[in-house]
């Protein structure tokens, strides 16, 4: 993975660190994206999980409740968040500068909720993730949907979509999927997530809701237009 300090990106990565030191506690809730990811990881029942960008540890709490025997590892750029979690295998880490944590240790599952948008060398990062997965291990990650209907309308009106100033250059869902495939990962499932950062109540089961969230390959245009973010469940190819 390319070191950010060698690519002209130190100011942006420093800004991201400062941003997260000030805002990490804002994400101390089980918002829709994280709830979806927690459900997918729980269904996989991995023996070990690496949570990249673990923030205040809400994913850890959810997994502990349903997978008490799973070994949880995490890292976050915010020292304040890491100190709040106070777990033995959670460390402060700037992924753009230091790469993935915990040496050469491999995992059954690696999670990245709201992280990929900040990565300077996205192809290198995804390649590193694939290398750190056990055979048939899974990568569960989210990415900002640049093809959301509201964002497309803003572009047509000559107004750029609202975005975090610390993000790197965003790519389209199609480009992100190609990067996943090129890194040695196979996309198993795609889910549509809402974007608001607040506690999300479980969606009432229904045929429509299930088709919208889990049947995306059959209704690709609809999901691209309505999903604020996309959650990908990928498996390492052996």
DSSP code for 219: S
Report yes or no: 74 and 90 within 8 Å, Cβ to Cβ: yes
Q: Quote the CA–CA distance of 20 and 186 in Å, as a whole number.
A: 31
* SS3 category, 230: strand
* pLDDT the model gives residue 133: 98
The overall average pLDDT reported for the chain is 82
Parent domain of 101: 4-236
Q: Name the pLDDT band for 40 (thresholds 50, 70, 90).
A: very high
Residue pointed to by tokens 């999980």: 49
Number of domains in the chain: 1
Q: Quote the CA–CA distance of 47 and 45 in Å, as a whole number.
A: 7
pTM > 0.85: no
3 pLDDT more than 50: no
* pLDDT the model gives residue 56: 86
Mean pLDDT of 173-191: 95
Terminal Cα distance for the chain, rounded: 21
105 pLDDT more than 90: yes
Q: What is the rounded radius of gyration, in angstroms, for the C-alpha atoms of the chain?
A: 17
Mean pLDDT of 40-44: 95
166 pLDDT more than 60: yes
Q: Quote the CA–CA distance of 74 and 64 in Å, as a whole number.
A: 13
**pLDDT above 70 coverage of the chain, percent:** 75
- For residue 121, the domain's CATH number is 3.40.50.150
């Amino acid at each position: 993975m390319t070191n950010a300090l060698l690519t002209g990106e130190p100011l942006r990565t420093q800004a991201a660190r400062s941003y997260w030191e000030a805002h990490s506690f804002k994400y101390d809730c089980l918002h829709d994206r994280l709830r979806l990811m927690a459900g997918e990881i729980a269904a996989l029942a991995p023996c070990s999980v690496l949570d990249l960008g673990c923030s205040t540890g809400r994913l850890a709490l959810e997994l502990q409740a349903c997978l008490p025997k799973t070994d949880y590892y995490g890292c976050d750029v915010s020292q304040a968040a890491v100190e709040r979690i106070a777990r033995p295998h959670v460390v402060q880490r700037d992924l753009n500068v230091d790469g993935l944590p915990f040496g050469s240790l491999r995992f059954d599952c690696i999670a990245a909720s709201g992280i990929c948008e900040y990565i300077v060398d996205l192809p290198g990062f995804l390649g590193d993730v694939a290398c750190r997965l056990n055979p048939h291990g899974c990568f569960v990650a989210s990415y900002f949907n640049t093809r959301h209907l509201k964002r497309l309308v803003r572009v047509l009106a000559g107004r750029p979509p609202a975005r975090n100033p610390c993000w790197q250059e965003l790519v389209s869902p199609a480009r992100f999927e190609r990067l996943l495939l090129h890194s040695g990962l196979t996309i198993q499932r795609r889910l549509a997530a809402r974007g608001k950062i607040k506690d999300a109540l479980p969606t009432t089961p229904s045929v429509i809701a299930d088709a919208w969230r889990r049947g995306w390959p059959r209704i690709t245009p609809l999901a691209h237009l309505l999903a604020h973010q996309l959650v990908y469940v990928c498996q390492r190819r052996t």
